[in-house]
Amino acid sequence: MRLSVVLAVAPLLFSAGIVLASEDVVGIMAANGCVNCHGSEGRGSDVGNIPPLFGHSREFLVVALNGYKSGSLHGTVMNRVMKDVDEKKIEVLANYFSSIK
């Protein structure tokens, strides 16, 4: 009986984590346009000279994203993309991209 309850509930718990991750990371990335240019893993592209986001430290990414937001760094589209992004979203993006190896 216990095993059947665990087996019935486990997929629900697992899928709930995926939904939260999806909302926190993929949703934010799509809203900010990250996926469109940098790709889902932040690998960037030689076409259009789009730099990779993966492989950088969290701290580097927070500073860079805030720099585009404030205007202290200048990019082709990044200043417009980051203009309305709040600090929580910047932290989530930095954590996500810095975790990719």
Domains of the chain plus CATH, in order, are 2-99 (1.10.760.10)
Q: How many of the other CB atoms lie within 10 Å of CB of 4?
A: 8
The whole-angstrom distance between residue 51's C-alpha and the CA centroid of its chain comes to: 15
Residue 20 tokens read as 């939260």
The tens place of each residue's pLDDT in the chain, 101 residues long, gives 554 544 454 454 444 444 455 555 666 666 667 888 898 888 998 888 899 998 999 999 999 999 999 999 999 899 999 999 999 889 888 888 888 88
| pLDDT per residue as tens digits for the range 27-50 | 666 666 788 889 888 899 888 889
- Evaluate whether 36 touches 91 at the Cβ level (below 8 Å): no
